[in-house]
Amino acid sequence: MHPHLFTPLHLRPFTLKNRVVMGSMHTGLEEREDWAALTRFYRARAEGGAALIITGGIAPNPEGAVFQGAAELTDANLSHHRHLTDTVHQHGARIVLQILHAGRYAFSPHCVAPSPLKSPISPFPPKELTEETIAKQIADIASTAQRAISAGYDGVELMGSEGYLINQFLAPRTNRRTDRWGQDRRLFAREVTKATRDAIGPNLLIFRISLIDLVDQGQTWEDTAALAQELSPLVDIFNSGIGWHEARVPTIAQNVPRAAFAPLTARLKALTDRPVIAVNRIPDPATAEAILAAKQADLIGLARPLLADPDWVNKAQNGQNITPCIACNQACLDHTFEGKAATCLTNPAAGREAEFEAPPAPAKTVAIIGAGAAGLACALTAAKRGHKVTLFEAAAQIGGQMRLAAKVPGKEEFQTLLAYYEAEARHPNITLRLNTRAGTADLAGFDAVVIATGVRPRKTALPGPDYQQALNGAPLGPRVAIIGAGGIGFDVAAFLLGHEDFATEWGLGDPAVSAGGLQTPRPMKPSREIWLLQRSKGKPGKGLGKTTGWIHRAHLAAHGVTMLGGVDYSHFDDQGLHVLQDGQPLVIPATDLVICAGQEAVADLPGPRIGGARDAAGIDAKRAIEEGTRMGLAL
Ligand code: NAP
Ligand code: SF4
């Protein structure tokens, strides 16, 4: 299967056994110095078949650390790195250390940059680097690279994209210097790469090059092409970098089409004889194989998909069902930004593999009521351990609320998760009883019972379809007020707006046409007028995901959705919805209401509960799957 994906690639220092590179991801275990968990994490991905692993970003010095105290490679922790690299090598993979100097993105008062310009996503203005301190940054990067080789790494990746220090030197947006480092904006990248090559000798050197900055005054394609040509003699592989962190165009979220940026990698490939890695939104083997077959890239970078399934590569080779990454960011990047260790919504064991080890179980008979996310996760975990599971589901299909999520434009990846569960539910230890609303009598005789009956929409005094009815196609007029502005209110608003072209909506252009690759966003004219309302004061959407909330808010704002907080509902009549907003009477001329006012637990049967049936407040797929998995392990 997938012949291109499984063709070895011969490089100068060694041969990669296949075309899958695990992209750099910060797990948070680095700073906790949980070496056992970190080593276990990388070991699982090596065992799972990845040819090459790139570590999470490691700072070359304190001023370059993404936040104060972010991981560095020091003489003190070198032996732990050595154990980690030995372990990865024993399990058949190569591993390189990513060196990441954050420049002005460092969340610290000690941050440095080519010019003293504060980034819009950081409160800290950077100190302008001097000739002397530039030399220090280069020396620190090179000495970290040298130490990486002493720690057993097969090489290093230089983070030259995503708006970090090297990229800051490259773009006019952040490099306003008039000295040689500004007159020749590529000089820093060249000097860092040369010094790194000198430090690591013939070991592997990857440069992550920004193919599209997606910010004003970013690089042109001409700049990128010149850099690629200058660096080609120095590097072994180019990795693709897409968009700065401060960019206002989504680059990895669910609404980004699969393989959206592969054409840019193909353009890079045409410029260099070095192998190139395609990245971002390549979740499945078919997409990866197609990119390689079309010669758009030589290697495929998978980051989040290898959180979701460490065995992605081996499973792709054997045609097995892969636990999908649905690009939600909820348990990986959102956790990182909340200062928590990264894990995965679809695979709660990610980063805590030892905690979720599944010992074989003495085969009990287990009844699980409800085949939504929690019930399914519980059933699969229990069945794989050896229990005999009967999974009752009142509906004609499994999936529960995930089926509704899959209907929302930009959330179609939930369909992939449903397909995964549908295939896994065929496990020989699972008997699936669809169209069966289990009663107490059905549960007699089982060794264990688990209630995963989920939630029902909360009713309010206001009339109108609830979110389930709306997402299932309840007819609605031209002006809709949505009561409740949680995640589901936002989803319903997006559903009512409908599908549209990603590049046109977000202004994704071509760096060969405009610097930074931006074009004027042209969101489609909305077919409906929508209001999204909440009683709490403040702007709706504060509780949305750290890394994706801005996308949902910007999407609705671009289509003229009025988002109001501090709303006191009165009544709904022919004129519309009568409210007090911040104490002032207001009539919202809505023709229809949709009620998205949260949920209540459905827990009519006795027994231990998981997911929404246990606690409806704040239930989402992340908590449901984790609770289901933990219950499956505890049975
Ligand atoms: P939610 O986040 O709790 O929001 C419920 C909304 O209803 C709030 O805006 C609340 O605001 C309002 N509300 C509550 N009681 C009300 C009442 N009696 N009358 C009128 N309004 C009322 O819940 P949800 O939107 O149903 O989402 C459920 C879970 O799914 C959440 O945990 C959410 O994180 C998750 N989810 C996440 C995403 C995502 O993109 N990550 C998407 C969908 C769902 P006021 O009380 O201020 O009026
Ligand atoms: Fe993918 Fe979501 Fe898991 Fe992150 S949490 S790896 S985005 S499925």
Q: What is the CATH number of the domain that holds 424?
A: 3.40.50.720
pLDDT of residue 32: 87
Q: What is d(CA 299, CA 295) in angstroms, rounded to the nearest whole number?
A: 10
Alpha carbons within 13 angstroms on the beta-carbon side of residue 527 total 10
pLDDT at 282: 98
Identify the residue whose C-alpha is closest to ligand 1 atom 44.
Answer: 487
> Residues near 426 by Cβ (< 8 Å), separated by ≥ 6?
none
Q: Are residues 241 and 373 in the same domain?
A: no
Contact yes or no for 17/92 (Cβ under 8 A): yes
Task: Examine residue 543 and state whether it is found in any structural domain, yes or no.
Answer: yes
Asked if residue 350 belongs to a domain, the reply is no
Position 366, amino acid: V
Mean pLDDT, range 125-134, rounded to an integer: 98
CA distances from 175 to 85, 314, 554 (A): 37, 44, 28
Q: How many domains is the chain partitioned into structurally?
A: 3
| C-alpha–C-alpha distance, residues 44 and 23, integer Å | 15
pLDDT at 359: 85
* Whether the CB of 304 sits within 6 Å of ligand 2: yes
Distance between CA atoms of residues 402 and 164, nearest Å = 36
At residue 58, the pLDDT reads: 97
Q: pLDDT-derived band of residue 425, with 50, 70 and 90 as boundaries?
A: very high
Decide if pLDDT at 337 tops 90. Answer: no
- Verify whether ligand 1 is closer than 6 Å to residue 487 (CB atom): yes
**Given a cut of 90, is residue 361 above it in pLDDT?**
no
Tell whether ligand 1 has an atom less than 6 A from the beta carbon of residue 568: no
Query: What number is the average pLDDT over the span 205-216?
Result: 98
For 309, the token pair is 């399934």
Return the CATH number at 511. Answer: 3.50.50.60
Q: How far is the CA of 79 from the centre of ligand 2 (A)?
A: 31
What is the residue with the minimal CA distance to atom 21 of ligand 1? 597
- Residue 582: the pLDDT is 80
pLDDT attached to residue 362: 83
569 within 8 A of 579, measured Cβ to Cβ = yes
- Rounded Cα distance between 601 and 121, Å, is 38
**Are 18 and 8 contacting, i.e. CB atoms less than 8 angstroms apart?**
yes
Question: Of 301, 321, 337, which one is at a domain's C-terminal end?
Answer: 337
The CA 540 to ligand 1 mean position distance, Å, reads 10
Same domain membership, residue 144 and residue 101:
yes
In this structure, the answer to whether residues 433 and 526 fall within a common structural domain is no
- State the burial class of residue 78 (Cβ atoms within 10 Å of its Cβ: 0-12, 13-18, 19+): middle
Closest alpha carbon to 260 in 241, 284, 282, 277: 282
- Cβ–ligand 2 distance for 224 under 6 Å, the answer no
- Of all ligands present, the nearest one to the C-alpha of 342 is 2
475 falls in which pLDDT band (50, 70, 90)?
Answer: very high
Statement to judge: residues 311 and 391 lie in one domain: no
d(CA 230, CA 246): 27
Pairwise CA distance, residues 153 & 95, whole Å: 6
Task: Write out the two tokens for 57.
Answer: 């970003």
The average pLDDT across 580-586 equals 90
* Percentage of the chain modeled with pLDDT above 70: 100
The verdict on 76 and 155 lying in the same domain is yes
Same domain, 170 and 102: yes
Task: Give the pLDDT confidence score for residue 472 in this predicted structure.
Answer: 97
Q: Is residue 583 predicted with pLDDT exceeding 90? A: no
Q: What is the mean pLDDT of residues 224-248?
A: 98
At 326 the three-state DSSP class reads coil
H helix intervals, 35-156: 35-47, 78-90, 131-150
Domain coverage including residue 536 = 467-597
Q: How confident is the model at residue 123 (pLDDT cuts 50, 70, 90)?
A: very high
For the stretch 161-204, pLDDT in tens is 999 999 999 999 999 999 999 999 999 999 999 999 999 999 99
CB of 621 within 6 A of ligand 2: the answer is: no
For ligand 2, the distance from its centroid to the CA atom of residue 308, given in whole angstroms, is 6
431 and 580 inside one domain: no
Average pLDDT of span 223-238? 98
State how far the Cα of 239 lies from the Cα of 299, in Å rounded to an integer.
9
CA 172–ligand 2 middle distance (angstroms)? 34
Distance CA 110, CA 66 (A): 11
The alpha carbon of 333 and the centre of ligand 2 are apart by a number of angstroms equal to 8
Domain-located, residue 2:
no
593 lies in the same domain as 604:
no
* 374, part of any domain: yes
What pLDDT score does 292 carry? 98
Ligand 1 neighbourhood includes 619 CB (under 6 angstroms): yes
Torsion of CA 609, 454, 400, 325, to 10 degrees: -60
Query: Is 483 a residue whose pLDDT tops 90?
Result: yes
pLDDT tens figures, 502-548: 999 999 999 999 999 999 999 999 989 999 999 999 999 999 999 99
Kind plus residue range of the DSSP H or E element containing 531 = strand 529-533
Looking up tokens 């449903």 gives: 418
Confirm if 428 and 469 have CB atoms less than 8 A apart.
no
Tokens encoding 375: 């019930």
The whole-angstrom separation of Cα 504 and Cα 559 is: 13
Residues 86 and 213 in one domain: yes
Length reported for the chain: 635
d(CA 114, CA 93): 37
**476 and 497 within one domain:** yes
Q: HSE (CB half, 13 Å, CA atoms) of 117?
A: 15
Q: Is residue 133 part of a domain?
A: yes
Residue 352 belongs to some domain of the structure:
no
**Residue 186 is part of a domain; what is its CATH number?**
3.20.20.70
Q: Is residue 175 assigned to a domain?
A: yes
Q: Percent of the chain, pLDDT > 90? A: 95
Residues 234, 587: Cα–Cα separation, whole Å? 66
CA 322 to CA 287: how far, in whole Å?
14
> Which residue numbers are catalytic?
164
Give mean pLDDT, residues 149-160. Answer: 98
Burial class (CB in 10 A: 0-12, 13-18, 19+), 9: middle
Same domain, 373 and 475: no
pLDDT reported for residue 339: 86
Q: In what order do the strands lie in the sheet with 567-573?
A: 567-573, 576-581, 584-588
What's the pLDDT score for residue 307?
A: 97
Tell me which residue of 170, 242, 166, 158 sits closest to 206, measured CA to CA. 158
Q: How far apart are CA 277 and CA 232, in angstroms?
A: 14
Contacts of 320 (CB under 8 A, 6+ apart): 311, 314
Asked, for residue 182, whether it belongs to a domain, the answer is yes
For 381, the token pair is: 């975990």
Same domain, 19 and 77: yes
3-state secondary structure 102-135: CHHHCECCCCEECCCCCCCCCCCCCEECCHHHHH
Query: Would you say residue 360 has pLDDT above 90?
Result: no
Examine the pLDDT at 355 and tell me if it is beyond 90: yes
What is the average pLDDT score of the chain? 97
pLDDT tens digits, one per residue of 62-110: 999 999 999 999 999 999 999 999 999 999 999 999 999 999 999 999 9
Q: 601 in helix, strand or coil? A: strand
pLDDT at 358: 87
Most ligand 1 atoms within 8 A of CB, residue of 482, 596, 615 to mutate: 596
